[in-house]
Amino acid sequence: MSLFQKTNHEQKYPPQRQRKEFVSGETIPYLGRNYRLEIDDQSIPGIEFHSRFIISRDNQPQAARLFRQWYIERANERISSRAQYFGAAMGVVFNRILISDLKVRWGSCTPSSNLNFNWRIMKGPSFVIDYLVVHELAHLIETNHTPRFWNIVAIQVPRWEHAKTWLRNHGDLLEVDF
């Protein structure tokens, strides 16, 4: 099984995952770090992030939906930016980027040069996000995981093996649902 065919695979990750309760003091991962959640009595539209996550008590019942939306918005910004940067460095052009709820992959590249990414990768460190972006862009040059493919990845992300190992060891943390 490929590293990218991972979501909810019982041989890869334990089948039991604890859902977030969205209470003050709970931690929420973002870019490889855990940030405390604060429930505020004041009305706050959506989610605020200032070295901690803040949601209003009124929004607590919809916290899972709000966090998913927040991550997708951050993913659209960051992944698009990184794909443009690495795409230019690699001399490749992609069609569009789609951030969604991929069920079996962290990312994919379609025959029509679209790049798809799982929004949950925003919970992981930046070096993992860069690796995943470069991995998918490399498929625009070499479709299979050949030695040439891995050389293309290594030129852009010299520590790609570290990122791949991080995903193998910690990918289950990204999969904890809201």
CATH number for the domain that contains residue 92: 3.30.2010.10
Q: Does 64 map to a domain?
A: yes
Which pLDDT does position 18 carry in this prediction?
63
Radius of gyration of the chain measured on its C-alpha atoms: 17
> What was the pLDDT predicted at 53?
97
In a domain, 7, yes or no: no
Tokens of 129: 């996000």
Residue 13 lies in a domain: no
Q: Look up the pTM and report it.
A: 0.86
Mean pLDDT per segment of 10 residues, for the chain of length 178 residues?
47 54 90 95 93 95 94 96 97 96 86 95 96 97 96 97 95 82
Answer yes or no: is 17 within a domain. Answer: no
| Residue 54: predicted pLDDT | 96
Q: Give the number of domains in the chain.
A: 1
**Counting Cβ atoms within 10 Å, is residue 164 exposed (0-12), middle (13-18) or buried (19+)?**
middle
Rounded to 5 degrees, φ, ψ at 4 are -90, -10
Question: Is the residue at 162 inside a domain?
Answer: yes
